[in-house]
Structure 1
Amino acid sequence: MKEKTIKLLERGLPYYIIITMSCLIILPQIISHGVILGTDSIFHFNRFYEATQQIQHWNFSYFQSNYSFQQSGRIINATYCPLFAYFNAIILLLARSWYRYQIITNLLIYFIGGTGMYKLCIKLHSKQSIALIIAFIYMNIGWLPRWELAQNMNAWGAALSPYMVICGIRMIQNRKQPINALQLITLMTVIMQIHLLSSVFFAVALIPFFIAGLIYSNNPRLMWTELIKAVIGTIILTANVWGALLMINLNNHIAYPANFSLLANALRPAIFSNNRRFLAFPICFLFIAQLVFVIRKPRRSFLNTFITSWGSLILILSSVITPWRKLQQWLPFLSHTLQFPSRLTIIAYPLLFAGIAMTVTAIINSTPKYSLSHISSIGILPATLLLVFIPTNITISRETANYHSDALLANLSALSNASTNKEAIRYSTQSSHPEQLLSLVEKRSPDYLPLPSNYAGDKSKHSYDYQFQIIEDTKNFHHTVLKGGKLKLTWTANHSGTQRLPLITYHESILTVNGKKVTHYQRSSIGAPYIHERQGVNTATLKFKPASWFNYLLAIWIISSILYWIYGGYYLYKKK
């Protein structure tokens, strides 16, 4: 029994160390007891609060937002990875405040990302100590810290990207079974349920691995078979995501996300900064040295040469070296789809760090213990870790310091309404009533609004239209959430006439005014309905009715998900 306990402790030791590093990264936030409100915080907090209320009241509305986003009925979660919203809602229900929610999710994302990077290095036969240091460096750079600093969803792509590389490595290393369909299905389903753009990056990044795997495979036919299984399985298990997007876009003209300058958001070198748009000189040096190493001796390790070359190419694409200004002129859709070329680093960094782990391990194993190469290889990674941990810690410390100052909302963009009472905002982040923060700080977010055909070409002012038509008008109406996912508005009119309701209506929305279903009505530039009101008390009810084919698709998805969990459990039991 004692020996088993010791073995369990030894096997778990790397993960305890990764948890410790996660705690060290978020230590400034733990000490200050502060909440970091970043660029995307309020938007995603609304999403998660919506799912929380649906669970609490057991009153689900898959499409319509009834509790959040000014109770406007707009669609967000259904088109923005709904399962992840419900996952965060469960965490928020357990945490009960935004502060505790942030601490839990920050620890979770750092642990997932660090563990993935560690497992990737071990998969490549790296020494355990080297694998841990590489994992720590990865946890402190790029997009991974952006979840703590701004609730950027690309951070979850960065956390899961090492697992994607593990699947790619398997395609080359394992010649008998290059693809485990269940493993690939799980990875792609999880990332599609979290962040769609990251799933596109993952799929593209795996293509060279698949081609190389076909060349090396003993059974290419099996490889194709497993790939087809994985693709079909992923399509079925993500039907709730792509099905909702398809249905909404078939009959509605949906507003694109905001446009950004690609060049301004491409990766560029910096002295010590390692945030999403910058790469510190120590990391630049490591990457250049790694590339030089494999170019000089490309035949020493095909796998090292392969992943380093592929990672370097993606890193160049993510940087200012690529002519992004010209590309934006030729392919303007990239400004609202890709938005930030630096997002590609979620693929480049795991590949390059995996190559570095292989190189350092190879040098240590092949050189005398006290040689310059041996000592340099051992010392360079801890030094690099120190040079990336300190700036990250300083950045987090600075952002948490804002919590106790007048700069509390300094990093929030597109604010339409924010209380001047900073103490009330601070109190709301610690309160067990999460809705308080969302009523004190409101953001104009035009994402996924339905644009009537006569307004479809004018996208520049939809953000302000949402502020004037929804955020400012909604205070004049009383909102009630009814059973069955319905939203009821009540207001009093001094005289009869035309009234614009602070609601967002889609082709599939059913609007009832004063007990009568309204089928023909004019809509504003963002889909708010104009209706006829009578003198005195008026009521309006909004309900979203999805297409019947989507309901069938959802049923297939639910059944398939249950079967997946049953088979997955059986597979793991059999493997153990």
Structure 2
Amino acid sequence: MTTYSVQYWTLRQGLSSWGAALFPLCLIPLIDLIEKKTLHPIQTAICIGVMCQIHMLSAFLLVFVYACFFLTAFFANSKHTKIKLLKQLGLAIVIFGFLVLNVLYSFIAIYSENNIAQPFVNKWMAETTIFKGSSYWLFYPPILMIIVLFALWTICRYWKKESQLLKVTAVTCGFLFILCTDLFPWKLLNNSHNQLIETIQFPFRFFVPFTVLLLLAVGLLLEKWHTRSVIFGLISYGLLLLSLFQTGISTNNALNVWHQTESFLNSSVHTYFTSENTSEIKKSFFIKNKVQALQYVVKSTPDYLPVKTVKCKDKYSLYHHQVINKQKYFHKSVKGNKLVVEWEGRSVKNIQVPVIKYTDTILRLNQKMLHTNVKLSRIGTPIVKQRKGHNELVVSYRSDRLLDTILIFNFISWLIVFYMNYKFKFLNE
């Protein structure tokens, strides 16, 4: 809990921290996979399914770890065991499919009808490894580096005597560590324009599963030691207190940035302030109604917009000019499940309205339905013909009865699977 993998959310709002928090729980089926040569289909489907519902990249990293363990168990066993493992894997995939049907359908529905803008491509991946610009992952808390060295020395020294579970954990952990560093040819791969590599964006993201597997390996090592002795207990609690103390200091240092005059918020990454009054901006974050705060601080975030071409290079500046800068001329309100945009027109002419239209978005201008072939900007803002005087654009999304059915079916699937998992444990006991 004191590692940067979890604190990443507190300090920088990194969503992978939620994946890191659940990662240890999701490794439970892998223990039986190696030790008992069996893969529990229900447990595996639940673990990966939960991760998919929370954070897709963390789910991808979890599947990567599962693949390493599964391949080891598969090739190290007899033909009969291989067939059994393949059947269990197939069943796990089927169950998993039911549990994430809502996610799969949403991806298909959106991506099949729109050119979706992907997150920015990091051209300097080699500079964001833990040996360069992101070294804080390795030294947070400082005891983590000592744990790494301890695990490396102990495993290398007693490698032949270690269990297969510890060996698989250590090898997978070591490979993930290499992926975090510039020992891996990130610079070369970065220039290959591979979509999978571009999706990763930052090599330090592999440090999340590395941290969890490292602590699992250390736990397996300590099982053979006299961990119930008073001395070991005092050392453990001492290290825990030091880690908590360091986390408190780091969090406090991050909070102290708020008290600075100019750099109290990170304005370097497409973030803009609509007021020059620093004290007013700060006060707005402590008011119950956060409308002012959202008006004072705006961020150009065009990820996943329906762009005309997937490789829209200037999408950040386009979003800034076509949406953020134009907000002040329009009044927006929500009525039911519709967004109502109102403004006053000085003359009859074509204007850009700062909203986004996807293929299934419905636009109604001044009580008249606009046709589906509305002219759009490069990032999906509609260009409409305003009238002189008051104008009203009502924005809604096409009702999808199939999605409603899928959500109900998905919910029932989760209830059934959890019941089956409980029943399976009860029968085993």
TM range (shorter): 0.7 to 0.9
The answer on whether the counterparts of 1:283 and 1:384 sit within 8 Å (CA) in structure 2 is no
**Distance of aligned partners of 1:463 and 1:157 in 2 relative to their CA distance in 1, 3 Å threshold:** same
RMSD: 3.0
Matched, 1:502 2:354: yes
TM alignment of 1:8-407, pairs within 5 A: 139-175=1-37, 178-214=38-74, 215=76, 219-260=81-122, 261-268=124-131, 275-276=136-137, 282-302=143-163, 303-334=165-196, 336-364=198-226, 385=240, 388-406=243-261, 407=263
SS of the aligned residue for 2:298 comes to strand
**What is the alpha-carbon distance in structure 2 between the residues aligned to residue 216 and residue 165 of structure 1?**
21
1:429-468 aligned at under 5 Å gives the runs 429-453=285-309, 456-459=310-313, 461-468=314-321
SS of match in other structure, 1:398: helix
The answer as to whether partners of 1:416 and 1:467 remain within 8 angstroms in 2 is no
In the alignment, what sits opposite 1:475? 328
Q: How does 1:486-497 map to 2 (within 5 A)?
A: 486-497=338-349
Q: Which runs of 5+ in 2 are unaligned?
A: none
Alpha-carbon separation, structure 1, partners of 2:307 and 2:364? 21
Match in the other structure for 1:114: none
> How far, CA to CA, are the matches of 1:500 and 1:527 in structure 2?
10
* 8 Å contact from structure 1 (residues 500, 530) kept in 2: yes
TM-score by length of 2: 0.87
Structure 2 CA distance for partners of 1:514 and 1:400, relative to 1, 3 Å: same
- Give the Cα–Cα distance (whole angstroms) in 1 for the partners of residues 67 and 324 of structure 2: 45
Opposite residue 14 of structure 2, the aligned amino acid is: N
Q: Provide the C-alpha distance between the structure 2 equivalents of 1:439 and 1:154, rounded to a whole number of angstroms.
A: 27
Cα deviation 1:171-228 (Å, max 9, x = unaligned)? 11234xx222222222112111111011011111101222333445885544333322
Provide closer, same or farther for how the CA distance between residues 457 and 567 of structure 1 changes in structure 2, counting only shifts above 3 A.
closer
Is contact 2:301–2:316 with CA below 8 Å preserved after alignment? Answer: yes
> 1:156-177: CA deviations, max 9, x gaps?
11111112222212211234xx
2:370 matches 1:518: yes
- Paired residues of 1:265 and 1:277 also in contact (CA < 8 A): no
SS of equivalent to 2:59: helix
SS in 1 for 2:179: helix
Match of 2:418 among 556, 568, 571: 568
> How far off is 1:342 after superposition?
0.8
Does the 8 A contact of 2:129 with 2:202 survive in 1? yes
CA distance in 2, matches of 1:301, 1:160: 27
> What is the number of equivalent residue pairs in this alignment?
420
Q: Which structure is higher in RCO with an 8 Å CA cutoff and minimum separation 6?
A: 1
For residues 223 and 495 of structure 1, what CA distance do their matches in structure 2 show?
A: 70
Moved more, 189-198 or 377-386: 377-386
* Counterpart amino acid of residue 429 in structure 1: F
Distance 1:358 1:475, change over 3 A: same
Distance, in Å, in 1 between the alignment partners of 2:91 and 2:174 is 31
Q: Write the letter of the residue equivalent to 1:541.
A: V
Q: Distance in 1 between matches of 2:421 and 2:167?
A: 34
- Provide closer, same or farther for how the CA distance between residues 563 and 206 of structure 1 changes in structure 2, counting only shifts above 3 A: closer
1:569 CA displacement: 4.2
SS of the residue corresponding to residue 43 of structure 2 reads: helix
CA drift of 1:148 comes to 0.8
Post-superposition CA distance 1:231-279 (Å, at most 9, x none): 1222222122222122211121111102222112111289xx9743756
Contact residue 190 and residue 198 of structure 2 kept, 8 A: no
Task: Give the whole-Å Cα distance in 2 for the aligned partners of 1:321 and 1:278.
Answer: 19
The aligned amino acid for 1:289 is F
CA contact (8 A) 1:450 1:506 kept: yes
Displacement, 1:470? 0.9
Partner residue in 2 for 1:558: 408
Kept in 2, the 8 Å contact 1:269–1:284? The answer is: no
Q: Partners in 2 of 1:452 and 1:157 — Cα distance?
A: 33
Question: Is residue 413 from structure 1 mapped to residue 298 from structure 2 by the alignment?
Answer: no
CA deviations 1:367-391 (Å, max 9, x no partner) are: xx8xxxx97x777756654664444
CA contact (8 A) 1:169 1:209 kept: no
Q: Give the partner amino acid of 2:410.
A: S
Partner SS, residue 362 of structure 1: coil
Work out the percentage of aligned pairs sharing the same amino acid.
25
Secondary structure of the residue aligned to 1:464 is helix
SS in 1 for 2:127: coil
Note if contact 1:495-1:534 (Cα within 8 Å) is conserved in structure 2.
yes
Offset from partner CA, 1:344-367 (integer Å, 9 cap, x none):
11111111221122223324379x
TM-score normalised per structure 1: 0.66
**Aligned to 1:499, what secondary structure does the other structure show?**
strand
Question: In structure 1, what is the Cα distance between the partners aligned to 2:151 and 2:57?
Answer: 28
Q: Distance in 2 between matches of 1:279 and 1:317?
A: 19
Distance 1:211 1:323, change over 3 A: closer
Give the letter for the 2:312 counterpart.
D
2:321 counterpart SS class: helix
Cα distance in 2 for residues equivalent to 1:198 and 1:206: 12
Structure 1 residue runs of 5 or longer lacking an equivalent are 1-138
Whichever residue aligns with residue 294 of structure 2, its letter is: L
Classify the secondary structure of the residue corresponding to 1:539. Answer: strand
What is the aligned partner in structure 1 of residue 393 from structure 2? Answer: 540
